[in-house]
Structures are given as structure tokens and as C-alpha cells.
Structure 1
Amino acid sequence: MPNETVAALIARSNALGADPRLTNYAGGNTSAKGTATDPVTGTDVDLLWVKGSGGDLGTLTEEGLAVLRLDRLRALKDVYPGVEREDEMVAAFDHCLFGKGGAAPSIDTAMHALVEAAHVDHLHPDAGIALACAADGEKLTEQVFGDKVVWVPWRRPGFQLGLDIAAIVEANPQAVGTILGGHGITAWGGTSEEAEANSRWIVETAEAFLRENSRPEPFGPVLPGHEALPEAERRARAAALAPVVRGIASHDKPQVGHFTDADVVLDFLARAEHPRLAALGTSCPDHFLRTKVKPLVLDLPATATVEEQVARLHELHEAYRADYRAYYDRHATPDSPAIRGADPLIVLVPGVGMFSYGKDAQTARVAGEFYVNAINVMRGAEGVSTYAPIDEAEKFRIEYWALEEAKLARMPKPKPLATRIALVTGAASGIGKAIATRLAAEGACVVVADLDLAKARAAAAELGNSDVAVGVAADVSNPDAVRAAVDEAVLAFGGLDLVVNNAGLSISKPLLETTEQDWDLQHDVMAKGSFLVSQAAARVLIAQGLGGDIVYVASKNSVFAGPNNIAYSAVKADQAHQVRLLAAELGEHGVKVNGVNPDGVVRGSGIFAGGWGAQRAKTYGIAEDDLGKFYAQRTLLKREVLPEHVANAVFVLTGGELSHTTGLHVPVDAGVAAAFLR
């Protein structure tokens, strides 16, 4: 169990991190000073517990704290080589660790160690950054807080900033915190409760000042034609643009997307000053490290057609890439890290909303949240002054900081299906659920589509939160429902990469007992349904320009003739040939189309549980409970086939190793010689 000091620090951190008014996801850090027993000497030693690099205050646990010897940290003042060799001090922190040290110390460790107060908070509240990024921020700080909060001019985070703040605390015993120019706030206190109260007081006081003193319409008047489209039209337009925008954001490397049409975004884009402010870029390092220094903004009104917007987006993308490369070239030095990519991470479309991108759904969503923070900062600064972020040279020093590069290098290797977005039909149970589960485990964002929306959502929830999987309704025989499901997929994750046609049902009857209704039902769901899903998905895949995979879950029956199964086997043969036809047609777009031919999947199968098992058992003259064993014994391997085995085949086809394979059918039947492909 943590000691009382650590317990109080964790509680304070979680409370501060849970309030988006106070700080953003993974932003800011907190610390506490106290004593613990040195196991070597048996004596008490002064320690600093501080949030480690990359952690999140709202979810911080003791394991996320760095633990360091305070005497050794403060002794670093005697060997500090100056701002030109600032980065060396982070490596020096490792020599100050207590025991194993816990989490990796962050660049802000010096700020917490050198301030004498026992408890220190460093936060990124929108209201605080608004003052920090105002052209006359120093004057406003004195006006708002008097001598209780002191202005600190912009300085890149590091040891010197820690020395600066420590000097301010010593020279201003009445002060409870600082406004850090271009950055955020720092507050302190003798107890954990006092530090938290001071942090909250600074934020609440700043909020009240901005609220009471802001001029009307800080973003200017409404631009004609830039008002938000009606919701249904807005969402439809976003779904139409999403694949194109994702292709733009993924030119250098694939990205997952997130879309928001929050009122704060729509209002910003409707106002006359949004082009000027967006071009100035964000200021707080936590913002632009996740959003790039500035967004791509579509400079057409919402009344433009989709075709006009698409054409203009491509033009703006080329200009954005050239501008970003020029920014890099202006500031890069021989020892700068290589350019990481010139594509935008934030794309703003007036009347529609914001698309944000990242290496996974959470990163994409958080990037969007950070740009909303940036909009709030701009509004606050423009309301009482003029928004004046740090200059681009300083932004470059942060973005291409060697320490930031080292942090990226420590990231775990991505899973095989990372950045890929999968749509699986009939995925609430059986084979479809097994496929969705495997794809999610391999790193894909998964859209669980099923006729039953409640079951789809429940199955998605089993895979993880909405950054991992979402559930959507999909009657695959209805073209409107299919288009709606695909639209939901692209709005949830930005696009599509991998589509599995799995939805199906089966009615086992001899020819003379098979009704026209039986025939139509099976063909509507599987032949027509697969066609509709593939058609809707192909529109997205082609618009993205990123290639992709379409997989059909067909059947051994697509090539094997058995009794009492005319409708099911015929429709499976239809699906099998769709694979060949679409492989031939979509190859020029980099889209691979393959099939899987299972057989005898009894356990966990929705089809068998729905009456198919009883019908097949009757055909073979055996008990239904013995059907799985019966199927296994007629195979060459004498092994029962489970849904997970089908999922394995889908992953093999889409996981990257078979990058040059299309038009293939993979048997997953434990060996049925009569179904060998010829």
C-alpha cells in the first residue's frame, strides 16, 4: 500500500485529471515531497514522487510515478551546464532514482524538485493557456491575480524553467502559482489539499475573468455560407468526405480517424476569423505535439458540392505538404530527427466539423479533443486581447526535440492490424464474433455489424471501449441499411480497410420441399447482401486510395454437392464466384478479395443453433449433440472445426503476410477431399 503522501498525491492527481477544465488527457504533472526509509541504511530519506513521462493524471496509479532522491536532484544545480545542453539533465535524472525509480522521469521533473513547496501541480487548463497565449499576457496576469500569481515568459520545459520557477517562489512568498507564457500554469502548496485548492482557484479565477470581460463574438461575425449544415445533411456530408480526408491524412503512413461536429467546432468554423487563427497554429506543447502545428482548413463554404470540396481538399493537401516541408527545412539542423511526415492531423471543414487522426482510435480522438482545447484558448485570448502563440521556431524545437524522438522510440511495436478498420457482418455471434474478436486482438478497430443492434453493441462492448469496437445495425439485404452501416463505420473510425462478409443463415431442405421464399431469403441475405456490402465498402476503399481487403466467409458447400441443401449451397457458390469477380475488378485499386470455406462449424455457430444443426443431424441420421463429432470423423484430420479456426484464416489473409494474394479460397474444414479446390 502507498504511504499517506503518495495516496494523497494519487487522489489529487485523479481529481484534477478527471476535470477537463483543469487539464487535458495525458497533460500536466503533479508531485509530492516526503520521506521514506532507505532499505540500505535504515534511515529516512527525502524523496520526490512525480508523475512519470507519458502518464495521464486522471488514471494515474502509484506505478505511474517516478520516485527520486530529492537531495541528488537538487545537487544537479551544481553541474547544470546551461540551456544549450539542457537535454543532458534528463539523463542525469536516472542517477537520482530511488530504488528502481518507478516510471521514467519526465522533462518537468526539475520544476517539481527545485520548488521548495511540498506539493506542486503543473496543468494545461484552457483558461490558463488563454492568458498565457494573449499578446499582453503578463499585464493580464497582474490584472487578474494581483501578486498571488506571477508571469513567467515562455521557456521550453526543462531544468532552466525549474530554476526560474524556484526563483519566483523564493522571491514571491505570497504567490501560489504562475502563468507560464505560451504554455499553462503551475501552482503549489504546503499540503496536497492546499496545492489542489490553489490550482483550482487559478483556473476558476481565470475563467471568471474571461467570462466577464470578453468582447462579443471574439471569432468575428458569421461568414455567409459557413454556418453548420442541418444535422442529417452534415453527417451525410461528413461520411462522404471521410474516406477522402483519411486518404489525405494517410499519404505518408496509415492513420485512424475521428470525426466530431461539436458546437464549439462548428461555431469556430462559421466565424470570419477562423482562417487567421487556424493559420497561427496551437501553442501549448501538449496541443501541437498531437495536432501538428496547424490544421488543414477547407476554404470553401458549406454550400459547395461534395465534388468541389474533394477537388479542393486534394489541392490544399499538396499545399499543406509543401508548407510543412518548408517549415521543417527552415528550422532543421544537421542533428534534427528526420521529418516524420507532412500530412495534417487535423482537417477542418466549415459547416461539417473536424476530422482528427492518429496511430489508433484513442490517439485520433484525443487529437481532436486537443484541438477543441486550442479553439477554447483562441476564444479566451481573442476575447480579452489578441491570440499570440509561441513562434514556429520554438514549436519546431519542441516537435523535433531529441527527447520527444526518444519517447516515440520507446513506444511498443504496433500489432499487425494496427491502423486498420474492419467491418464484420453477422458479428454478434458465432463465426462473425470470433472473427471480430481476433481482428480486435490483432490491433484493428472493429465495427460489429448485425441485424440485432442490441446484440451488436453488446458484442462490441466485450471487445473493449468505443476506441476498440462499435456495434451497428445492418440488414445486409437492405441497401439503405448497408449504406447507413458503412457511414457509421467511417464516422466512427475514419474509413474502412477490411470487410468480412459473414452474415448468413441456412435452411436445409430437399429440392421438392424448398420454397421460393426459402430460396429468396437465403439469396437476399448472402448473395445480394454480400454484393451490397462489398459495393458500399468498395466506394470507401477506392476513395481512400489505401488498398484494403474484402473477405467472404463462403463454405465447403460452394464446391461440394450434397443432398437436401439446394438453396444454401447455390448461394454459397454465388459468393465464391463474387470473390473471383471482385478480385479481378478491384485489384487495380490495391484491394485484395479472398474467401474462406469453412465446414462443420457446430459449436458456437449461430446457424447451427438456429435449427440448421437439427436439420443436418436428421439428414445424416444422428443425434444433434453428436453432429460436431460426426463432421470431424469424416475429415482427413479428424478434427472438429471451431469459429476460432475460421477467424485464424481471416487473419492470415489480411494480416500482411499474404500481401500478394487475391482471388484465393482457403478451406477451413479439417480436410474434405471432395471439396478440394481444382
Structure 2
Amino acid sequence: MADDRAATRLSNLWDDAKAGGMSEAERLVYRSNILGSDKRVTNYGGGNTSSKIRQKDPLTGEEVEVLWVKGSGGDIATMKLDGFATLYMDKLNGLKKLYRGLEHEDEMVGFLPHCTFNLNPRAASIDTPLHAFVPRRYVDHMHPDAIIAIAASRDSKALTQKIFGDEIGWLPWKRPGFELGLWLEKFCAEHPEAKGVVLESHGLFTWGDTPKACYETTIATINKAMAWFEEQTRGKPAFGGAAVKSLEPAQRRTLAAQLMPVIRGLISQDSHKVGHFDDSQAVLDFVNSNELRPLAALGTSCPDHFLRTKIRPLVVEFDPAKPDVEALLAGLPAAIEAYRDGYKAYYERCKRDNSPAMRDPNAVVYLVPGVGMLTFAADKATARISGEFYVNAINVMRGASAVSTYVGLAEQEAFDIEYWLLEEAKLKRMPAPKPLAGRVAFVTGGAGGIGKATAVRLLREGACVVLADIDEASLAKAEEELGSAFGADFVRPVRLDVTDEAGVASAFAESAVAYGGIDILVSNAGISSSAPIEDTELSMWNRNLDILAKGYFLVSREAFRTFKKQKIGGNIVFIASKNGLAASPNAAAYCTAKAAEIHLARCLALEGAEHQIRVNTVNPDAVLRGSKIWTGEWRAQRAAAYSMQPDELEEHYRKRSMLKRGVYPEDVAEAVYFLASEMSAKSTGNIINVDAGNAQSFTR
């Protein structure tokens, strides 16, 4: 059914040789990981698995039955042993005596810690009773698109019976919790031959008497649903056929680059958001279709979907056959305000006496006919994952509407999960966001010593970083290093010659598509040269001014354009030099260009202030370690200027400083972070010298 991934069946990844030498707990991890390795089985962070394992009680020494079940949070594709909660089965069964009925269901979560086995610190999830009360040793709960398409159909019970017969049962919608656990127990007692059950608007439960049998039942059940949908939908147009045609790929990205900073600015007034763009075929089939608006208005069905994407998306009105971009951009403020008003009305209609306060009323998902899907969240990973969840929802709508009528979750039910007090408590337990969370930094010369150190410092504080550099080999190495350390979502490389006007514009457009815009520009691209004035060739003079003056102008101009589109302020930090304030022998071209940078920063600080754009400068001196400009002729040239050997230069600079200390890339990065963060929110037009003290470069 769904998208073109479903053209092939799920593979049976179980390997007896691997599983044979594992402990029961290790086989649970193995089963979980291979299930989660294919997003057609379950979405990121979704689904859970369990095993009931006989273990020695550390208190009594007697053998007891222990439920190992995915704990709160985590992703089954990558989780390890410490991702599972462990609970005494006899204590879990004993909770049934304490259960006071549906109105008091939530209080049962508070009893789960009392059932903990072996002091395991992993918190048990709300789904724990669902696994505990299924009277089978091995249980899988997955969210496959093919199954949810059945579960979200108006006649889902009849479809389940038609496709699976008595092998897989059906239960009506019930919010996860203790009551649903009892429902599953009752179902199993009444249908002892069943191998699983479809939960309306939710997903699939399957079980088995061995880990392998449980896994294979899960895979076989999903494959059977996929095969049935393929047969039923073969030759049928998706979503009632296309109403519009897609723009060409390059046009789609160009339009996304224009749209995303504007949307980002409109929804980031209270907290900065990061964007993600998806123009995959599954998305285009939906946004171009005749049924886009009625289906989008119904909202998503599976709780996992709408917790990530809100109950429904915002459809941005756009005709790709008559692409009026100015009208599109002009209409965004009203469209976004209308969505916010609608969300507020939804909250007021559905809120309970004890509901948490309304959260951010802005849309997460933005659907643009002919272009694709934009998603925005507090960080890049969440924005990307939210998009993946909505693709799951698209696949569900595609399947359900092709064979039946798609049904979204009832509004009150959706609200009661979105504003569930247990969900609110979970949100409050999350760590506070890092200082630069939601910010996007663009660092030129990002693969070099100061640039990479700066990127590391900003990444450590939660920023996303675009590494811009002309050196492709160094850029690839830096991307690999930083992506591995901080996550691939947070780092994007772009090859950039800062003297190329079109290239600069293109690099910023790439950043807009990758992250939605930028908040921080660190202008750091640099070269060095040294020669007496009579030996300074015009080409050397021009090259210094091109890179160190024109280059800084071009990237700053493009940053200003983005900042003004977003209307949420901005921050520019120039990496200039002590030589911009203090003259040095045999370096007229370099010193002059650095002086130009400093004065350009002052001019920009004046222009940017009314728009909350701050512009400041860091002046390093003698940063030899890790710096690419010191690896070539510059080191030898500067040594010659001071009549010494190149390997004596670092010690010379240290002794020359007032503090008698070396200056390193990390020292410069610390100053950049200060100027890029809210710690310096009321500073602009300033210079920080990071030179271990040089009286000549004192600002006056």
C-alpha cells in the first residue's frame, strides 16, 4: 500500500546463530533492534517489546518471573539492556486488586515503581500493563503503517476479520493504560488461538511462546497486510488523483528556501524553531492530491503521530501552475494566525478542569501543494522526526482512504492524550534546553582551527551549525568528526568561496532548506600573507581584500537579508585580528584588510540595532595550533620578519604577550560563544581581544 517502500516485503532478519548464544535479556534487545531497523515496522521512538524472564530474586534467592519491557522513552532500533524496565510479575498482577476503575486509571502509574525488580532505575512506561497482562512470554507492540491503515478505517473491525480471519483479533479504541491491559488479558482468555490483535486507531499487538516465534508473527502479520493493500490498491490513483503538478526539484528547494525563514520567524517569537524540508514522493502524492484538504483537516489517528505533529497540519495555499511567490509570502502571517486561533479554540473546547496550560499553538507540519512538507520543532532532530511521523500518517491515510473511509482520532480523545497529565509530568522531567537550542549558526572557515573550535563550542550549547569552507577535504573530515560527536542532524557542510556572490547566496539558501534560516553568523574565513610593501604584488593585495573584506561583506549582507525575513533578530561575530588595530611589519595587505573588517562590523552594528541584529568582533593573535593559515608560507614569512626560525615563533608570541600565555582556537571560540549567546544580549559594536595582552591593540 502506502509509499513505494511497500513494494517489497519485510525481510525476516532473525539469525539463529546470533540469537542462540544470547541470554534471554540479550535476545529481547536483539529482537527489538531488528524490529526497529525498518521504519515500516514502527516509527522512531514508537512501539515496545517485552519478555517475561525467570530470574533469581536478589532478596530471597528464589526464582521469580520478571517482566522486561521497554522503558519510558528510547527507540527500539538502538536501545540496549539499560533501556528496559524490569518489574516483578507477581507484584504487577497484584495491582489488579488496587485498581479502582477507569476514573482512577492514572493513579496506577504511581504504583509501577513499587514493582521494580533489582532496583532498576529505568522508569516503566504507560504501556507496561499492556505487556504484563497478555498471558504470553513474548510480546511485540508495533505501529506499522499497513496495520494502522486498517486500524484507522471506518470499518476497521470488518477489515481485520477479512484480512486475518481469527488469527488476529480486534479491539476498539482505548487510550493506553491499565484498563487496556485488562482488555488485552480478557481478549487472550476468550481467544486462546489468536496470535495478536489490532487496536483501533492505534497499532498492533502480537505474541509468541519463543522470541523468534513472536518476531516472525509480527513480520508475517505486517507482510500480510501489505500484500492485501497492494492487491486492493493496484492501479488506483492515490488520494483521488492529482489536483496539481509538482514543481521541478530545484524549484521546490528554491521555494522552500524562500518560505522557511519567513515561517520560522513567524512561529519563533517565543522560542526559536528549527525546520526540516521533505519533498519525497509520498509527500508530493499527498500535497498535490484532490483529497489533501479534507484528509488533512481530519488530523492523524495514531497517538504517536499527533503527539509529534499536533492534531492536524497547516495547508499553505499555493498554486504551482501559477507560482506567485510574493502573494504566497504575503499570505503567511494571516494563515499562521488563523491556525493559532483554531488551535486555541480546540484547546478551549476540549480542556478539562485540571488540564495543563495551553502549549505552543503554532503548527508543526506545513503542507505546500507542488512543493512538499515543512516541519518545525525545537531542534533539528525533532523537526525531522516529526516529518517522518507525518509521512507515516500520510501512508495510513493513503491506505485507509483507498479501501474504506479514513477516520482520525476523535477530537476530545486526541486532546486528552495531548494534554494528559501523565504526559505533562513527563515533559516537566525533561532537562532544560541548552542555551543555544533552536539556534542555527553559519560558520565560514568552519573546517579550520578557529572555525571548527567555534563550531564545537556552539554545538555543545545546542546550536545547529552550517560548516562553510572552500577546502572540501577538510570540510568532509570536520563534518564526519562533528557529526559523530554531536549527531548528524546538527551539522551541515557547504562548500563556499566567500568571494563568490552567487555562491554565498546559494549557501545561505541551502542553510534555509536544511534548518529554516540562521541566527548566528561567525565570519571567520581567512588567509594570510607577508611581504615588504615594495614586494607586495597587486594580486596579493587584492586577494587579502577579496577574502577578508569583500568576503565578510558578502556573507554579512546575506545574513542581514535572512535576519530581516525572519524578524527575530540576529547575531554576527567577525573573527578579525590584533593586526586590525595594531600594525605589523611586512603585512600591509593583511593588516589593512583586517582593519576593514573591524570597521565594517561597526557600520553593521549601527544598521542592525533597530532590527535587534547585534554585530561584534573578536580579535585573536598568534593562534598557531590547529590553524590552517599557519601551515603554509605564512609561518616562515612571519618568522623571517622577526629574524627567527619557524619553530621558534609560537614561543616568541607567548613571551611577547603581556600575560605570557599561548592563545588557542578554543580560547577564541569561548569569546565567540559569549558574543553569540544571551550572555551578551545588550552588547553590539564591541571588540574582544583574545591575544594574551598586547598594549598596541587596546581599543580606544
Smaller-chain TM-score range?
Answer: over 0.9
**Residue of 494, 497, 500 corresponding to 2:516:** 494
Correspondence 1:378 to 2:397 = yes
- Provide the C-alpha distance between the structure 1 equivalents of 2:477 and 2:383, rounded to a whole number of angstroms: 24
Correspondence 1:631 to 2:650 = no
Q: Find the residue that maps to 2:573 and give its secondary structure.
A: strand
- Provide the C-alpha distance between the structure 2 equivalents of 1:603 and 1:628, rounded to a whole number of angstroms: 9
The residue that corresponds to 2:289 in the other structure is 271
| 8 A Cα contact 1:458 1:471, kept in partner | no
- Provide the C-alpha distance between the structure 1 equivalents of 2:161 and 2:275, rounded to a whole number of angstroms: 42
Correspondence 1:653 to 2:675 = yes
**For residues 407-486 of structure 1, what are the structure 2 equivalents within 5 Å?**
407-464=426-483, 465-486=487-508
Compute the displacement of 1:101 (Å): 2.3
**Residue of 170, 178, 186 corresponding to 1:151:** 170
**Residues 27-81 of structure 1, C-alpha deviations (whole Å, 9 max, x = no match):** 0100000111112211101100000011111001000000000000011111111
AA at the equivalent of 1:342: P
**Residue of 231, 240, 258 corresponding to 1:220:** 240
Q: Find the residue that maps to 1:31 and give its secondary structure.
A: strand
**5+ residue gaps, structure 2:** 1-18
**Residue of 24, 47, 69 corresponding to 2:43:** 24
**Residue of 503, 515, 526 corresponding to 2:548:** 526
| 8 A Cα contact 1:552 1:595, kept in partner | yes
**Residue of 115, 121, 124 corresponding to 2:140:** 121
- Provide the C-alpha distance between the structure 1 equivalents of 2:325 and 2:547, rounded to a whole number of angstroms: 32
- Provide the C-alpha distance between the structure 1 equivalents of 2:480 and 2:460, rounded to a whole number of angstroms: 14
Q: TM-score, normalised by structure 1?
A: 0.98
AA at the equivalent of 1:194: A
Compute the displacement of 1:233 (Å): 1.3
| 8 A Cα contact 1:31 1:119, kept in partner | yes
| 8 A Cα contact 2:472 2:495, kept in partner | yes
Correspondence 1:239 to 2:261 = no
AA at the equivalent of 1:284: C
| 8 A Cα contact 1:457 1:472, kept in partner | no
- Provide the C-alpha distance between the structure 1 equivalents of 2:380 and 2:196, rounded to a whole number of angstroms: 35
- Provide the C-alpha distance between the structure 1 equivalents of 2:441 and 2:666, rounded to a whole number of angstroms: 17
- Provide the C-alpha distance between the structure 1 equivalents of 2:266 and 2:28, rounded to a whole number of angstroms: 43
Q: Find the residue that maps to 1:603 and give its secondary structure.
A: coil
| 8 A Cα contact 2:449 2:665, kept in partner | yes
- Provide the C-alpha distance between the structure 2 equivalents of 1:424 and 1:154, rounded to a whole number of angstroms: 50
Deviates more, 1:580-589 or 1:122-131: 580-589
| 8 A Cα contact 2:467 2:494, kept in partner | yes
Q: Find the residue that maps to 2:69 and give its secondary structure.
A: strand
AA at the equivalent of 2:95: L
**For residues 46-125 of structure 1, what are the structure 2 equivalents within 5 Å?**
46-125=65-144
- Provide the C-alpha distance between the structure 2 equivalents of 1:312 and 1:661, rounded to a whole number of angstroms: 35
Q: Find the residue that maps to 2:334 and give its secondary structure.
A: helix
The residue that corresponds to 1:599 in the other structure is 621
Correspondence 1:575 to 2:597 = yes
The residue that corresponds to 1:616 in the other structure is 638
**Residues 203-254 of structure 1, C-alpha deviations (whole Å, 9 max, x = no match):** 111111111112712411221xx31101111111111111012123324321
- Provide the C-alpha distance between the structure 2 equivalents of 1:20 and 1:159, rounded to a whole number of angstroms: 28
| 8 A Cα contact 1:248 1:343, kept in partner | no
RMSD: 1.3
AA at the equivalent of 1:487: A
Q: Find the residue that maps to 1:530 and give its secondary structure.
A: helix
| 8 A Cα contact 2:475 2:493, kept in partner | yes
Compute the displacement of 1:106 (Å): 0.5
AA at the equivalent of 1:217: P
| 8 A Cα contact 2:466 2:491, kept in partner | yes
Q: How many residue pairs end up in the alignment? A: 676
Q: Find the residue that maps to 1:86 and give its secondary structure.
A: helix
Correspondence 1:296 to 2:314 = yes
Query: Identity of counterpart residues, as a percentage?
Result: 49
Q: Find the residue that maps to 2:221 and give its secondary structure.
A: helix
- Provide the C-alpha distance between the structure 2 equivalents of 1:312 and 1:554, rounded to a whole number of angstroms: 41
- Provide the C-alpha distance between the structure 1 equivalents of 2:440 and 2:473, rounded to a whole number of angstroms: 21
Compute the displacement of 1:304 (Å): 2.6
- Provide the C-alpha distance between the structure 2 equivalents of 1:457 and 1:445, rounded to a whole number of angstroms: 17
AA at the equivalent of 1:541: F
Compute the displacement of 1:3 (Å): 7.0
Q: Find the residue that maps to 2:266 and give its secondary structure.
A: helix
Q: Find the residue that maps to 1:475 and give its secondary structure.
A: coil
| 8 A Cα contact 1:266 1:351, kept in partner | yes
Q: Find the residue that maps to 1:106 and give its secondary structure.
A: coil
Q: Find the residue that maps to 2:509 and give its secondary structure.
A: helix
**Residue of 207, 225, 231 corresponding to 2:226:** 207
Compute the displacement of 1:550 (Å): 0.7
| 8 A Cα contact 1:128 1:184, kept in partner | yes
**Residues 348-397 of structure 1, C-alpha deviations (whole Å, 9 max, x = no match):** 11111111122211111100000000000000000100110111100000
| 8 A Cα contact 1:251 1:343, kept in partner | no
The residue that corresponds to 1:40 in the other structure is 59
| 8 A Cα contact 2:276 2:513, kept in partner | yes
The residue that corresponds to 1:171 in the other structure is 190
Compute the displacement of 1:453 (Å): 2.5
| 8 A Cα contact 2:299 2:409, kept in partner | no
AA at the equivalent of 1:270: N
- Provide the C-alpha distance between the structure 2 equivalents of 1:299 and 1:630, rounded to a whole number of angstroms: 64
Runs of 4+ in 1 over 3 A off after TM superposition: none
Correspondence 1:255 to 2:269 = no
**Residue of 534, 542, 546 corresponding to 1:512:** 534
- Provide the C-alpha distance between the structure 2 equivalents of 1:647 and 1:478, rounded to a whole number of angstroms: 26
Q: TM-score, normalised by structure 2?
A: 0.95
Compute the displacement of 1:514 (Å): 0.9
- Provide the C-alpha distance between the structure 1 equivalents of 2:427 and 2:480, rounded to a whole number of angstroms: 30
- Provide the C-alpha distance between the structure 2 equivalents of 1:454 and 1:411, rounded to a whole number of angstroms: 39
Deviates more, 1:488-497 or 1:148-157: 488-497
- Provide the C-alpha distance between the structure 1 equivalents of 2:626 and 2:218, rounded to a whole number of angstroms: 54
| 8 A Cα contact 2:271 2:438, kept in partner | no
- Provide the C-alpha distance between the structure 2 equivalents of 1:415 and 1:390, rounded to a whole number of angstroms: 34
| 8 A Cα contact 1:67 1:102, kept in partner | no
The residue that corresponds to 2:205 in the other structure is 186
The residue that corresponds to 1:134 in the other structure is 153
| 8 A Cα contact 1:461 1:469, kept in partner | no
**Residues 451-510 of structure 1, C-alpha deviations (whole Å, 9 max, x = no match):** 022321220221124212121100000011111111111211221011110001011112
| 8 A Cα contact 2:238 2:285, kept in partner | no
The residue that corresponds to 2:588 in the other structure is 566
**Residues 599-645 of structure 1, C-alpha deviations (whole Å, 9 max, x = no match):** 11112111111221111110011111111111111111111111111
- Provide the C-alpha distance between the structure 2 equivalents of 1:158 and 1:3, rounded to a whole number of angstroms: 31
| 8 A Cα contact 2:276 2:383, kept in partner | yes
